[in-house]
Amino acid sequence: MERVNETVVRDFIFLSFSSVARLQQLLFVIFLLLYLFTLGINGIIISTIVLDRALHIPMYFFLAILSCSEICYTFVIVPKMLVDLLAQRKTISFLGCAIQMFSFLFLGCSHSFLLAVMGYDRYVAICNPLRYSVLMGHGMCMGLVAAAYACGFTVAQIITSLVFHLPFYSSNQLHDFFCDISPVLKLASHHNHFSQIVIFMLCTLVLAIPLLLILVSYVHIISAILQFPSTLGRYKAYSTCVSHLIIVTVHYGCASFIYLRPQSNYSSSQDALISVSYTIITPLFNPMIYSLRNKEFKSALCRIARRTISLS
């Protein structure tokens, strides 16, 4: 550690994997394979949706946006983590840390709002099927996605500015493998309570508002499904919502555990494990859950595969 008393911190040192130094090469191989698999799965999903006209509907448009978001989300964190697993000095510059935090928060917050948009899409499809094509036209879909990313951008900009305007002296050891809010805040030499309250409130709102919108959507969805005359109709409607509910549960479960706790309850080893799950594992499984449970998507994937084989 490059430590000089009362010297402004110019870089940070990641310590997350220092306790498992002998396993770092093995972790590198495992995380690299997971990362490549994530890129491949999400790439296949995006390509299938773009190439098959039967999937050119709002539900799959949002799924393609989700897959793009997952690719960018992992790109912000995983390549740097892989380099650090093989490096002797696992450092990141002060500016690089700020950029990484902003990018991570921007994509993560946008993800929360995007899940609310997908919940609204399911609400319109099930509760207003005759007006679905009118209510969820191309302009509306683009507007909802733009609004989700605008909210994510605004929140990320405010939180990153508040964190990196704090003074950082002497200590530069981050007990994590990327620049998350809590580990960086712990290194601040002076804690501005107003900034901490604003950050906590923003994190709460980013999770609570989309979650509330999703819950309202599903109250109406469940009410509508119960009125369906046939069991088959209820099953089909229910099956289109299960994947979304699984992703919502995982996303909000992990995010709430990390960001909605008092800082005194922060545990570096426990949070590092949760961080690995939502930065590496969930971006792989989220689109898979959405696509592989969907017969329409699997049929489109088979058509694309047959078309590719016949052309070759």
User: How far is C-alpha 104 from the chain's CA centre?
Assistant: 8
Of the pLDDT bands very low, low, confident and very high (cuts 50, 70, 90), residue 4 is very low
State how many domains the chain has. 1
Q: Which residue has the higher pLDDT, 26 or 193?
A: 26
d(CA 109, CA 202) in angstroms, rounded, equals 10
The answer to whether residue 71 sits within a structural domain is: yes
Residue 19 has pLDDT above 80, yes or no: no
Q: What percent of the chain has pLDDT over 70?
A: 93
Range of the domain at 115: 11-310
d(CA 277, CA 170) in angstroms, rounded, equals 31
pLDDT at residue 80 in the model? 93
289: domain CATH number?
1.20.1070.10
User: How far is C-alpha 247 from the chain's CA centre?
Assistant: 10
Average pLDDT over residues 124-143: 92
**The most confident of 130-144, 238-252, 295-309, by mean pLDDT:** 130-144
The answer to whether residue 1 sits within a structural domain is: no
pLDDT at residue 205 in the model? 93
d(CA 83, CA 277) in angstroms, rounded, equals 19
The answer to whether residue 89 sits within a structural domain is: yes
Residue 60 has pLDDT above 80, yes or no: yes
The answer to whether residue 2 sits within a structural domain is: no
pLDDT at residue 148 in the model? 96
pLDDT at residue 208 in the model? 92
Return mean pLDDT, the chain: 86
- Angle, nearest 10°, between helix axes 282-292 and 231-259? 170
The answer to whether residue 4 sits within a structural domain is: no
Whether this model's pTM surpasses 0.85: yes
Of the pLDDT bands very low, low, confident and very high (cuts 50, 70, 90), residue 271 is low
pLDDT at residue 285 in the model? 80
pLDDT at residue 273 in the model? 72
pLDDT at residue 269 in the model? 59
The answer to whether residue 157 sits within a structural domain is: yes
pLDDT at residue 168 in the model? 87
Of the pLDDT bands very low, low, confident and very high (cuts 50, 70, 90), residue 1 is very low
pLDDT at residue 263 in the model? 58
Q: Which residue has the higher pLDDT, 267 or 51?
A: 51
Give the bridge partners for 216, in sequence order.
Answer: none
Average pLDDT over residues 178-187: 89
Residue 264 has pLDDT above 60, yes or no: no
- Return the closest-CA partner of residue 37 out of 292, 283, 291: 283
Q: Which residue has the higher pLDDT, 2 or 283?
A: 283
Give the bridge partners for 12, in sequence order.
Answer: 92
Q: Label each residue of the chain as H, E or C.
A: CCCCCCCECCEEEECCCHHHHHHHHHHHHHHHHHHHHHHHHHHHHHHHHHHCHHHCCHHHHHHHHHHHHHHHHHHHHHHHHHHHHHCCCCEEEHHHHHHHHHHHHHHHHHHHHHHHHHHHHHHHHHHCHHHHHHHCCHHHHHHHHHHHHHHHHHHHHHHHHHHHCCCCECCCEECCCCCCHHHHHHHCCCCCHHHHHHHHHHHHHHHHHHHHHHHHHHHHHHHHHHCCCCHHHHHHHHHHHHHHHHHHHHHHHHHHHHHCCCHHHCCHHHHHHHHHHHHHHHHHHHHHHHHHCCHHHHHHHHHHHHHHHHHC
The answer to whether residue 5 sits within a structural domain is: no
